[in-house]
Amino acid sequence: MFNTGRKLALGVTGLVAITIATRWSSAIFGQESAINPTPSGGFKPTTPRTSLMHWHDRAFDELLEGISRKDGESAEAAWLLAELANVNSFHSEKPNYRNWADQLRDGAIEIADTIRKKRDFDRAKALCNKLKDTCKRCHDAYKF
């Protein structure tokens, strides 16, 4: 039976996959996308930033909980956090905002690799603390 974090990861991952599939099928078959493209051709977010931040927090909490249990499955929460950061980067055109979203994505990927490949939970915890600083800088700048 899946734990709550695993269900969360699967649900959000499925939502992201459906979003991507809708965009690809529309491009391939020349149909209008269900997601309204921005003028630059990228996709337009469909959820308010506050909702996205809620999912960031849940994934981050699940990641920290898994690391504290030294659970290798916690890498899934890190991958989810990385993908949420990808989506988050579309919520602003401001370079510093996108830079912080990219840092979040890259940091979460590094954490996932550290857990999955090395099983180094102490390093993963230290990387999480570093990632919290990135989150704080963005939240302070944008008043989340």
CATH of the domain at 92: 1.20.120
Tell whether the model's pLDDT for residue 114 goes beyond 80: yes
Confidence of residue 90 (pLDDT cuts 50, 70, 90): confident
Predicted local confidence at residue 28, as pLDDT: 38
Domain membership of residue 28 as a residue range: 4-142
Confidence of residue 49 (pLDDT cuts 50, 70, 90): confident
Distance CA 18, CA 118 (A): 31
Q: Which two tokens stand for residue 130?
A: 């570093």
Confidence of residue 48 (pLDDT cuts 50, 70, 90): confident
Closest Cα partner for 49 from 94, 106, 11, 111? Answer: 94
pLDDT digit string, tens, across residues 126-136: 999 999 999 99
Closest Cα partner for 77 from 90, 91, 93, 65? Answer: 65
pTM of the predicted model over 0.85:
no
Total count of domains within the chain: 1
